[in-house]
Amino acid sequence: MTIEIAGVERIPEIMDIEEQTWLSTYPDELTGITKKDVAARFSLDFKDQRAGEIEEEMKSGNHSYRVLVVDGKVIGYSHLLKEANLNDFVELYIFKEYQGQGHGGLMMRDGLRFLGKNGRPIQLEVATYNTRAKTFYEHYGFKENLELKQAEGEDWNVLPSGKRIPVVFMELKGEEKIT
């Protein structure tokens, strides 16, 4: 089991993990988000656009995509972003069949080490109804911050149907110990 910095050759695997985990995570009866809503996000046009976005982010220097490889197979990835005032744990996805086996924790610790102890807070967004993920992040010291809101125009969580996956920000203060 290894964590590797992902290059452009890993984009198809990253996108596959993203699609499969979105389909198993984001449909939610209470919010009216269906599997069909989520699946519509992954049209061919979206996939082409998304591949280009990931490639540009990889080249930018302040984004880091990392993949978890188990027995030669990429089973998860993280997307980390260092910004001037804060650090962002943008994504952490593990194939469903590999969840609950410590892989997410390995990726989280790697991401926290990368984002560092520079005194800047680390934030992330999580679906309000994804209690499993929220509990996982709380285990690493993240706390909900209801004062933080998505920037105007931020739309990663808007589906083609117009439905928006409701999110809450979680934050790890810069002065808190990163293990």
CB 53 within 8 A of CB 59: no
Q: What is the model's pTM?
A: 0.92
Residue position matching structure tokens 């990163």? 178
Q: What digits encode the pLDDT tens for the residues 22-71?
A: 999 999 999 999 999 999 999 988 999 999 999 999 999 899 999 999 99
Just give the CATH number of 2-172: 3.40.630.30
Residue position matching structure tokens 């964590």? 3
